[in-house]
Amino acid sequence: MSLIVQKYGGSSVSDAESIKRVAKRIVETRKAGNDVVVAVSAMGDTTDELLDLAHEVTPIPAPRELDMLLTAGERISMALLAMAIKSMGYDARSFTGSQAGMITDAQHGAARIVDVTPGRLSEALSQGAIVIVAGFQGFNRDTKDITTLGRGGSDTTAVALAAALDADVCEIYTDVDGVFTSDPRVVPLARKIDRITSEEMLELAAAGAKVLYIRAVEYARRHGVTLHVRSSFNNNEGTIVYNPEAGIPAELGRNGVEVEEPIIAGIAADLSEAKITVVGVPDIPGKAAQIFKIVAKTNSNVDMIVQNVSAAVSGLTDISFTLPKSEGQIVLTALTAEQDAVGFQSLQYDDQIGKLALVGAGMRTNTGVSAKLFEALYEAGINIEMISTSEIRISVVTRADTINDAVRVVHTAFGLDADEVAKVHGGTGR
Amino acid sequence: MSLIVQKYGGSSVSDAESIKRVAKRIVETRKAGNDVVVAVSAMGDTTDELLDLAHEVTPIPAPRELDMLLTAGERISMALLAMAIKSMGYDARSFTGSQAGMITDAQHGAARIVDVTPGRLSEALSQGAIVIVAGFQGFNRDTKDITTLGRGGSDTTAVALAAALDADVCEIYTDVDGVFTSDPRVVPLARKIDRITSEEMLELAAAGAKVLYIRAVEYARRHGVTLHVRSSFNNNEGTIVYNPEAGIPAELGRNGVEVEEPIIAGIAADLSEAKITVVGVPDIPGKAAQIFKIVAKTNSNVDMIVQNVSAAVSGLTDISFTLPKSEGQIVLTALTAEQDAVGFQSLQYDDQIGKLALVGAGMRTNTGVSAKLFEALYEAGINIEMISTSEIRISVVTRADTINDAVRVVHTAFGLDADEVAKVHGGTGR
């Protein structure tokens, strides 16, 4: 008997009908002889509606109370899902984050999981019940207060439960068929990826692929949880995200069929970032550290950093970095306040950039990947403004309005195009 | 410094605006130098909407999961109320029934409070915070499951908190100005009652007065909690419900002004009951006990019981009783199944009855109250079908279509009519 953790996002449980459909799928998994634990998000737009309500009451809701409010969302969906399953003749019990033992730190709105004590879940499983857990929420032991995990929280809940209960697989149900080589809305010939390493998935998620949240992938990688990203609208196999050292579990039926790893797993594009250039920085040791200490104090999420070749003559250099557009203003303000101390000449802000990331473990051992990437962009007349590489990823920054073309030509250049156009649905969960 | 418990029903917190209005009132109570604990119901129609959703999923929702679902309602209202208060510069913290220490038995949907352990509330109060508690909900220690208290649960939550925290007064905010001598929608000249004993209030509530739930009044009476029923739409004094042995607390400013108690406190009417008559019961000892043992097994709430004068010749008698219409069918079925064992001839069912109850502690020492009542009804041409009396209440059953006339003529006969027509709002909380 296997233990399967399943996660259903808000778009999979948006009304009574879809809740019944999900309940049926869960019961089928149970019938097949598996223990089942389900992490569920709030129904459809519930979270946004609750947020709107809070903002009608006060422009800046108190974080503790906002978490108390938002956690009502999963409470509703999990109770409805449990009663739907029970009405099909199978035992089911719903548990809040607190009841499920999701222990977090006290950072309301973006709490981190520090421990999982799923005693009540194990007990319910041993009594033959299907376990339904509220995604996105936890509990702090010191303050005894309810917390929420922030964006992608339900994915993280599912992965943390899978790790704590030593589940065989964690199935992430979504409204697309799996992880694609690129966004099918941009690249019509994008292909569903059958399997991908957690490391590659992490890079793709970090580079803007929306289907999985980076936190959940990181948690899965660290705890050796195998993910199966698949659609809740059909029974197709989705994408297996696995740890190459541990291999793919036998239950997933892929062992023994050793296929050659593709060089490139996928291509992600991201239009949510802006570029700040610090112009005319004295080219002496310690200046970069000084700048990024100022930036770090704003808690900004800096992504790519590029320092241009030193201008030997002037003794000055330029340092550029990208960060989420939403954080641009606060970082500009912080840097301006320290302009004299650092001694730079000026700041440039550019929010019309696009970032393309090419991800694949195969590039470790395959030379010429960067050259092929740059050539494809050159042939399409697309100018590269920044380049940054990691072991399994190459990122380039272009103008925002060329990014979709860039993704398409690179997708074709690396032989990722499918024979036919991908079918896609819309929407995302949380 | 006084400790005041306030309860706000769903109609007082139906949207963001009304939540802000209630928050302001709470802050004013705090500013006046009081510690404040608030029990709040779910917003407006939230509970009904959640119930509808449950019934879309399954015709018979599992009770544990239904409680999990419904408790989301107060979670939303209490969090919004707490953040509204915090935005006004006062500290406020919301607590679920479980966090507030409302320990109940395990009867989902109609749980009874067995203990209140308000340690977290006392701690928050000692730190100067205003405490907001979810009404209607509790927690069972054995199953560790969330429970709900059933109808009138939020009133009961408020009274139980007032008792456990030894509050000076428990203010029940509603959408009317207090308890009236009769329903102002039926009797336009009904008067607001300034003060009423808990015993009288209990009889009025039991007889159908909707403004307070019988459970909450009973809890208040047993634990010596003084209630103040008042409107959340103005600052008028409402109705004080007090224990005559303890007197009215000095804070409520009524001591020293000894007024003569009116003979009659109020008149309630109830159209929700039906009458069952067991016809032709052998007039031998033990038959009534046999019949009501059968009825008791159905958990039905029998109200009035009348046995007609024995018919000496036939050796048979008739026994009539009233009960909620909703319980009529199950009791008829139970009695029919035992017809041969009991030996009665037939059953009659009548759901076109109305019940009028005249309540007043003064009737203990005033003769002639029944006579005056019967005379007023006779003069109005209203026929009395059943009579039942307790120490401070007289109830009569009439035809349903005459009940409103009956209430009006009795209200006038006992000198309860006000000089002017009462102003009323609509709606009730839970």
Instruction: With beta carbons under 8 A apart, name residues in chain B contacting A50.
Output: 76
User: Any bridge partners for residue A273, and if so which?
Assistant: A324
In 3-state terms, what secondary structure has residue B105?
Answer: coil
Q: Is residue B286 part of a domain?
A: yes
Task: Show the beta-strand stretches assigned E in A106-248.
Answer: 113-116, 130-134, 137-139, 146-148, 169-174, 195-197, 227-231, 239-242
Per-residue pLDDT, averaged over B241-266, amounts to 67
Mean of all residue pLDDT scores within chain B: 89
Instruction: With beta carbons under 8 A apart, name residues in chain A contacting B15.
Output: 56
Instruction: From B170, B303, B266, select the one nearest B226 (Cα to Cα).
Output: B170
Q: Is pLDDT of B148 > 90?
A: yes
Residue A426: predicted pLDDT: 45
| B254 Cα to chain A: minimum distance (Å) | 37
Instruction: With beta carbons under 8 A apart, name residues in chain B contacting A48.
Output: none
Residue A76 is nearest to which of B72, B99, B120, comparing CB atoms? B72
Per-residue pLDDT, averaged over A269-285, amounts to 89
Q: Which of A292-301, B270-279, B288-297 is the most confident on average?
A: B270-279
Q: Is B152 left (phi over 0), alpha (psi -120 to 50) or beta?
A: left
Under 8 Å CB pairs connecting chains A and B tally to 116
Q: CA-nearest residue of chain B to A21? A: B57
Flag whether residue B406 sits within 8 Å of chain A, measured between CB atoms.
no
Residues B273 and B183 in one domain: no
| B101 Cα to chain A: minimum distance (Å) | 13
The DSSP-derived string for B69-102 is HHTHHHHHHHHHHHHHHHTTT--EEEE-TTTTTE
How many angstroms separate the CA atoms of B220 and B152, rounded? 13
| A380 Cα to chain B: minimum distance (Å) | 53
Per-residue pLDDT, averaged over B128-154, amounts to 94
Q: Is pLDDT of A429 > 50?
A: no
| B93 Cα to chain A: minimum distance (Å) | 7
Residue A57 is nearest to which of B20, B68, B94, comparing CB atoms? B20
- CATH of residue B306: 3.30.2130.10
Residues A249 and A284 in one domain: no
- List, as residue ranges, the binding site of B: 7-10, 47, 74, 174-175, 185, 210-211
Residue type, B81: L
Residues A188 and A119 in one domain: yes
- CATH of residue A124: 3.40.1160.10
Q: Sorting pLDDT into bands at 50, 70 and 90, what band is B303?
A: confident
- Cα A287–Cα A289–Cα A290 angle in degrees, nearest 5: 65
CA separation (Å) from A276 to A84, A240, A332? 52, 37, 8
Contact flag A87-B58 (C-beta cutoff 8 Å): yes
Q: Sorting pLDDT into bands at 50, 70 and 90, what band is B105?
A: very high
Cβ atoms of A186 and A269 within 8 Å: the answer is: yes
> Which one of A17, A19, A57 makes the best mutation probe of the B interface by having the most chain B beta carbons within 10 Å?
A57
How many angstroms separate the CA atoms of A11 and B180, rounded? 50
Range of the domain at B335: 264-413
Task: Show the beta-strand stretches assigned E in A219-345.
Answer: 227-231, 239-242, 266-270, 273-282, 305-307, 316-324
Q: CA-nearest residue of chain A to B86? A: A62
Flag whether residue A305 sits within 8 Å of chain B, measured between CB atoms.
no
How many angstroms separate the CA atoms of B400 and A29, rounded? 56
Q: Is pLDDT of B35 > 90?
A: yes
Sheet strands side by side (includes A3-8): A92-95, A130-134, A35-40, A3-8, A169-174, A227-231, A239-242, A195-197
Residue B364: predicted pLDDT: 74
Cβ atoms of B127 and B120 within 8 Å: the answer is: no
Instruction: With beta carbons under 8 A apart, name residues in chain A contacting B69.
Output: 75-76, 79-80, 83
Instruction: With beta carbons under 8 A apart, name residues in chain A contacting B58.
Output: 83-84, 86-87
CA separation (Å) from A295 to A188, A358, A419? 39, 27, 46
| B142 Cα to chain A: minimum distance (Å) | 13
Flag whether residue A80 sits within 8 Å of chain B, measured between CB atoms.
yes
Provide the domain count of chain B: 2
Domain endpoint, select from B233, B260, B287 = B260
Q: What are A108-144's pLDDT values in tens digits?
A: 999 999 999 999 999 999 999 999 999 999 999 999 9
Q: What are A327-347's pLDDT values in tens digits?
A: 999 999 999 999 999 999 999
Cβ contacts of residue B312 below 8 Å, gap of 6+? none
Domain endpoint, select from B260, B294, B314 = B260
Residue A65 is nearest to which of B61, B69, B86, comparing CB atoms? B86
Residues A333 and A356 in one domain: yes
How many angstroms separate the CA atoms of B219 and B98, rounded? 20
Cβ atoms of A187 and A181 within 8 Å: the answer is: yes
For residue B26, which phi and psi values (nearest 5 degrees)?
A: -65, -45
Q: Is pLDDT of A428 > 90?
A: no
Flag whether residue A93 sits within 8 Å of chain B, measured between CB atoms.
yes
Stated pTM of the model: 0.81
Residues B110 and B13 in one domain: yes
Contact flag B76-A72 (C-beta cutoff 8 Å): yes
Q: CA-nearest residue of chain B to A94? A: B65
Residue B57 is nearest to which of A69, A75, A80, comparing CB atoms? A80
Q: Sorting pLDDT into bands at 50, 70 and 90, what band is A313?
A: low
Mean of all residue pLDDT scores within chain A: 89
Q: Sorting pLDDT into bands at 50, 70 and 90, what band is B426?
A: very low
Flag whether residue A42 sits within 8 Å of chain B, measured between CB atoms.
no
Residue B69 is nearest to which of A15, A66, A76, comparing CB atoms? A76
Instruction: With beta carbons under 8 A apart, name residues in chain A contacting B54.
Output: 79-80, 83
Cβ contacts of residue A411 below 8 Å, gap of 6+? A181, A182, A187, A189, A190, A267, A417
Q: CA-nearest residue of chain A to B42? A: A72
Residue B361: predicted pLDDT: 80
Residues B293 and B198 in one domain: no
Q: Sorting pLDDT into bands at 50, 70 and 90, what band is B423?
A: low
Q: Is residue B223 part of a domain?
A: yes
Cβ atoms of B187 and B150 within 8 Å: the answer is: no
| B87 Cα to chain A: minimum distance (Å) | 6
| B328 Cα to chain A: minimum distance (Å) | 28
Q: Is residue A428 part of a domain?
A: no
Q: Is residue A40 part of a domain?
A: yes
Residue B424: predicted pLDDT: 59
Residues B18 and B89 in one domain: yes
Contact flag A83-B58 (C-beta cutoff 8 Å): yes
Contact flag B50-A76 (C-beta cutoff 8 Å): yes
Share of chain A above pLDDT 90, in %: 64
Contact flag B83-A58 (C-beta cutoff 8 Å): yes
Flag whether residue A94 sits within 8 Å of chain B, measured between CB atoms.
yes
Q: CA-nearest residue of chain B to A89? A: B62
Q: CA-nearest residue of chain A to B89? A: A62
Flag whether residue B57 sits within 8 Å of chain A, measured between CB atoms.
yes
Residues A299 and A384 in one domain: yes
Contact flag B57-A20 (C-beta cutoff 8 Å): yes
Q: Is pLDDT of A307 > 80?
A: no
Flag whether residue A76 sits within 8 Å of chain B, measured between CB atoms.
yes
CA separation (Å) from B412 to A123, B191, B378, B420? 65, 11, 14, 13
Instruction: With beta carbons under 8 A apart, name residues in chain B contacting A54.
Output: 79-80, 83
Cβ atoms of B245 and B226 within 8 Å: the answer is: no
Q: CA-nearest residue of chain A to B67? A: A79
Domain endpoint, select from A232, A261, A290 = A261
Q: Which of A384-388, B103-107, B249-253 is the most confident on average?
A: B103-107
Per-residue pLDDT, averaged over A370-390, amounts to 86
Q: Is pLDDT of A255 > 50?
A: no
Least confident span in A34-48, A62-76, A198-212, B150-164: A198-212
Q: What are B348-387's pLDDT values in tens digits?
A: 999 999 999 999 887 877 777 888 888 899 999 998 888 8
Q: Is residue B428 part of a domain?
A: no
Residue type, A151: R
Least confident span in A105-119, A342-356, B202-216: B202-216
- Taking the alpha carbons at both ends of chain A, their separation in whole angstroms is 30
Q: Is residue A109 part of a domain?
A: yes
Q: Is B71 left (phi over 0), alpha (psi -120 to 50) or beta?
A: alpha
Residues A219 and A364 in one domain: no
Contact flag A87-B20 (C-beta cutoff 8 Å): no
> Which one of B20, B83, B91 makes the best mutation probe of the A interface by having the most chain A beta carbons within 10 Å?
B83
Residue A309: predicted pLDDT: 58
Q: Is residue B99 part of a domain?
A: yes
Residue type, A6: Q
Per-residue pLDDT, averaged over A45-49, amounts to 93
Flag whether residue A84 sits within 8 Å of chain B, measured between CB atoms.
yes
Residue A391: predicted pLDDT: 77
Say if residue A418 is exposed, middle or buried (CB neighbours under 10 Å; 0-12, 13-18, 19+): middle
Least confident span in A93-97, A288-292, B107-111: A288-292
Instruction: With beta carbons under 8 A apart, name residues in chain B contacting A19.
Output: 57
Contact flag A83-B93 (C-beta cutoff 8 Å): no
Contact flag A16-B80 (C-beta cutoff 8 Å): no
How many angstroms separate the CA atoms of A389 and A422, rounded? 29
Q: Sorting pLDDT into bands at 50, 70 and 90, what band is A260?
A: low
Residues A292 and A364 in one domain: yes
Residues B273 and B250 in one domain: no
Residue A250: predicted pLDDT: 64
Flag whether residue A21 sits within 8 Å of chain B, measured between CB atoms.
no
Flag whether residue A147 sits within 8 Å of chain B, measured between CB atoms.
no
Per-residue pLDDT, averaged over A201-229, amounts to 88
Q: Is residue A429 part of a domain?
A: no
For residue B377, which phi and psi values (nearest 5 degrees)?
A: -70, -40
Residues A257 and A268 in one domain: no
Contact flag A80-B71 (C-beta cutoff 8 Å): no
Flag whether residue B370 sits within 8 Å of chain A, measured between CB atoms.
no
Flag whether residue B53 sits within 8 Å of chain A, measured between CB atoms.
yes
What tokens were used for B110? 């109609």
Cβ atoms of A221 and A199 within 8 Å: the answer is: yes
